[in-house]
A and B are shown apart, each in its own frame.
Chain A
């Protein structure tokens, strides 16, 4: 279930399993928190800065050079004719010819007389007085040499007052830059296209390379997550085409797992040996205690009580050693379970009788209509399973609450329910209570070792059955042993 906390702005935000608030910017985590995101961002920045710089400088220089060239050509044209124009200002016929000779569709010259009249060569479709007046408005101070931009007929033009003659007349020049601007525009479009392609290809390549780098790390992560005591000796990481650094990590991981497997094996051997070695003297001690209690005539009540306590403790310790031995045998695949046909009603009655001897509690036993249910099971292990479950039910139930033992047959086959009305198990721990050394978090302190239910599961599954648990906090638990018929 998702936990919620309130942040500093009073906004509800989800928290992770450690109680830390998740980022309010998941995109930022994806971009800056992962190796792939960081490399993609770095690549984007490099390509972006490089392109922006190159395109801007290229555009600036290109524009400057194009306009400079335009101006130079126009000026050269004007330089050739301005002396002739100066001498011809009094001869309109020759002046028009001269202006016409040096004008064209993209480059026009005209003379502005002192009285404001304009003199220009008529070229079809280009010049008009209105256009020249608009062009001259770009330089209201009539400053010679000043170049200005004017938009005429949706085209950009450079306008310059070339020279002011002693007579007061002014020679103007106007040059169309539309072709140059179009060339620049094409250059910019081409740059954008190339840049977009380069950026896409680079990002795709980086994504592919990063996935290739990260893949072995994910494999390593999965292998580490799947590592358990049972598969330590079989787990070996084998990465294909990993970088050298990751291969080193793989070797280190394999070496670590090998050492762990060795330690685990030694630990199992130690537990097995110690349990086995301790069991024999404990049995002897228990025998002597039992015989002393039975046969000695001159013991006081207190001494008998003390010896009985010692006897019970040795039995408890022997049971614990038996559990450890069973687990150890299971780990080394030496656990012996021999299935045979078992009459479950008889076995259940026997278990109930044994339980009544040690547990002063009401037992309610319920049999099915067809009382003689046969299942494939190891009789001794089945008895141990049921006694463990009953002991468990007794431990966590109030004194007056009964324990119910129900034998029934369902769609899977025969099943035995052990039902208590005790403290119950928290829902999130229903799976983990069957793991070794795991106890429910609401279990009273110092009750059991946490091995009982793991052995129950081990034996039931060893007999080909399965164990099922249903529980409600404060209401009790129901353990169901499903067996094969």
Chain B
């Protein structure tokens, strides 16, 4: 899990660089980056669903919607390739989603144990 979080955290600067330098990357590298960023968001959605009872509803809902949108949009970009308008903004949002993912796994509360009465 720690290795997974390190990977996700490293995707933050990579996406920022991609946003800054839209002309420095190839089509293949960009598809790989969008694909990886999309795949790592799946465990986040799974964890939000599993821990939905112990999370703050509003924050969990916002994060879940954000993650779902990012997964859908970036799956499309992965399949269709580059040439999307405001691609730099998508990379910034991807960086934000990876940051949110890391923060979630580090700080999400654990489920409360059942206490016998």
Q: Which chain A residue shows the least CB distance to B51?
A: A9
Residue of B nearest to A196 (CB): B10
Q: Is B16 an interface residue (CB 8 A)?
A: yes
Contact between chains at A7 and B20 (CB < 8 Å): no
- Whether the pair B113, A52 counts as a contact (CB closer than 8 A) is no
Q: Indicate if the CB atoms of B17 and A48 lie closer than 8 Å.
A: no
Residues of B within 8 A of A184 (CB): 21, 24
Is there contact, CB below 8 Å, between B17 and A188? yes
Do the beta carbons of A48 and B111 come within 8 Å of each other? no
Contact B21 A7 (CB under 8 A): no
Q: Please tell me if the beta carbons of B17 and A6 are within 8 angstroms of each other in the complex.
A: no
Residues of A within 8 A of B53 (CB): 8-9
B16/A52 in contact, CB under 8 A: yes
Contact status of A48 and B1, CB under 8 A, knowing A25-B110, A185-B24 = no
A1-37 at interface with B (beta carbon < 8 Å): 5-9, 13, 20-21, 23-25, 27-28, 30-32
Contact B2 A31 (CB under 8 A): yes
- Say yes or no for B106: interface residue by CB 8 A criterion: yes
Which residues of the other chain, B, contact A177 by a CB distance below 8 angstroms? Answer: 23
- Of A24, A30, A31, A44, the residue contacting B111 (CB under 8 A) is A24
Q: Please name the residue on chain B nearest to A63 by beta carbon.
A: B21
A155, chain B: closest CB distance, angstroms:
10
Contact with A32, one of B1, B106, B113 (Cβ below 8 angstroms): B106
Asked if B113 contacts A59 (CB within 8 A), the reply is: no
A438 close to chain B: CB less than 8 A? no
Q: Is there an interface contact between B16 and A56, defined as CB atoms closer than 8 Å? A: yes
A181 within 8 A of B: yes
Answer yes or no: A208 CB below 8 A from chain B CBs: no
- Measured CA separation A177–B110 after assembly (Å): 52
A24: chain B residues within 8 A (beta carbon) = 110-111
Question: A156 at the A/B interface (Cβ < 8 Å)?
Answer: yes
Q: Taking A27-B1, A32-B106, A55-B13 as contacts, is the C-beta distance between A7 and B23 under 8 angstroms?
A: no
Q: Give bound CA distance, A6 to B116, whole Å.
A: 11
Residues facing B in A148-206 (CB within 8 A) are 149, 156, 177, 181, 184-185, 188
B75 sits at the interface (CB 8 A): no
A66 to B116, CA, bound (A): 68
Pick the residue among B9, B20, B114 that contacts A56 (CB under 8 A). Answer: B20
CB distance B17 to A56 under 8 Å? yes
Q: Is the CB of B54 within 8 A of A8?
A: yes
Chain B residues contacting A8 (CB-CB under 8 Å) are: 53-54, 111-114
Judge whether A7 and B111 touch: CB under 8 Å: yes
Would you call A51 an interface residue if the criterion is a C-beta within 8 Å of the partner chain's C-beta atoms?
A: yes
User: How distant is the Cα of A44 from the Cα of B23 in the complex, in angstroms?
Assistant: 30
Contacts of A149 in B (CB 8 A): 23
Task: Given A52-B12, A59-B17, check contact A181 B23 (CB 8 Å).
Answer: yes
Contact A25 B23 (CB under 8 A): no
CB-CB under 8 A from B9, the residues of chain A are 48
Taking the complex as formed, is A437 at the interface, i.e. its CB lies under 8 A from any CB of chain B?
A: no
B1-21 interface code vs A (CB 8 A; 1 in, 0 out): 110001001001100110011
A31 vs B105: C-alpha distance when bound (angstroms):
12
Interface flag for A60 (CB, 8 Å): yes
Measured between beta carbons, the chain A residues less than 8 angstroms from B24 are: 181, 184-185, 188
Max chain A C-beta neighbours (<10 A), residue from B20, B50, B114:
B20
Chain B proximity mask over A45-70: 1 for CB below 8 Å, otherwise 0: 00010011001100110010000000
> How far is B25's CA from A156's CA once the two chains are assembled, in angstroms?
11
> Using an 8 Å CB-CB cutoff, how does the interface string of B46-76 with A read, 1 for contact, 0 for none?
0000100110000000000000000000000
Residues of the A chain whose Cβ atoms lie less than 8 Å from the Cβ of B112: 7-8
Contact of B106 among A28, A51, A156 (CB under 8 A): A28
Instruction: With A56-B13, A56-B16, A60-B20 as known contacts, state yes or no: A9 contacts B50, CB within 8 Å.
Output: yes
Separation of A302 and B111 alpha carbons in the complex (Å): 69
Interface centre among A8, A21, A25, A184 (most CB of B within 10 A): A8
Interface contacts beyond A8-B53, A55-B13: sample of 17 additional A-B pairs, CB < 8 Å, sorted by A: A7-B111, A13-B113, A20-B113, A25-B1, A27-B1, A30-B2, A31-B2, A31-B106, A52-B13, A52-B16, A55-B17, A56-B16, A60-B20, A63-B20, A181-B21, A185-B24, A188-B24
- Point out residues on A near B: beta carbons under 8 Å: 5-9, 13, 20-21, 23-25, 27-28, 30-32, 44, 48, 51-52, 55-56, 59-60, 63, 149, 156, 177, 181, 184-185, 188
16 contacts between A and B (CB under 8 A): A5-B114, A7-B112, A8-B53, A8-B54, A8-B112, A8-B113, A24-B110, A24-B111, A25-B110, A28-B105, A32-B106, A55-B13, A56-B16, A63-B21, A181-B21, A184-B21
